[in-house]
Amino acid sequence: MVSTLLSTPPSPSPSPIPPAIFITGTDTDVGKSVVAAMFTLGLGASYWKPIQSGPGPVDETGASSQGDRAYIQQLTGLPAAHFLPERHCLSQPLSPHAAAAIDGIQIQLSDFQLPRHDRAHLIVEGAGGLLVPLNPGGDYILDLIQHLALPVVLVARSGLGTLNHSLLSLERLRHSGIAVLGVVVNGPRNGSNCAAIAHYGQVPILLELPPLQPLNAARLQQAFQSIRWPEA
């Protein structure tokens, strides 16, 4: 019996807050956009979503925001200059490989370079989980993270099933040599699951993020101030 699932310790970050961070999740609709909004607002960062599939999330009234970029700008209230255009903006809310096929294009890793921006930090938001396909050639979101050479914040659910999803995601990130800054656990507080992710995943829990009501810039800023950054 082993005491922890992951034998390799987390890769240390060069500083508590790197200049660019990739926000990924254990699943779709796990809360990546809310967490990305929190980081973008808290750091006064630029925001970039390389691939947008479909119209994005809906607000509390059920209205579509027409993409995560517009949704996060609305949530944060930051000026439009903080928000960088997508490299691929696809019409259907599907996995990028499927949405791209419908739109008659094929996504390649060579399509992506970190965009120029004029702020101290850049927040990059992924699409779905790590093994969401980008193209028929076998590239995934995981490969995009490697290609961009960014450290990761992993967003996980707080409830039942999160341990398997979180630990598998952490194992794949480590196996791929990607630095993991920590995990944001999103949802109703669950101390047992947070402790298990930290112990078995050998990873810092940056924040337990409960449902924010109302979901607005003030609540996001308050949540950001509660992040427990690991020491460099």
Cα atoms in the Cβ-side hemisphere of radius 13 Å centred on 203: 33
CA of residue 182 relative to chain centroid, distance: 11
The CA-based diameter of the chain, rounded to the nearest angstrom, is 53
Told to judge if 49 belongs to the known catalytic residues of this protein, a careful annotator would answer: yes
Look-up: residue for tokens 């989980």? 129
**Rounded CA gap, 207 and 96, in Å?**
29
**Rounded CA gap, 56 and 37, in Å?**
14
Name every residue whose Cβ is closer than 8 Å to that of residue 218 and which is 6 or more positions away in sequence.
Answer: none
User: Which 3 state secondary structure label does DSSP give 67?
Assistant: coil
Residues 182, 185, 149, CA angle at the centre, nearest 5°? 35
Q: Which of 32, 49, 165, 174 is catalytic?
A: 49
Active-site residue list: 49
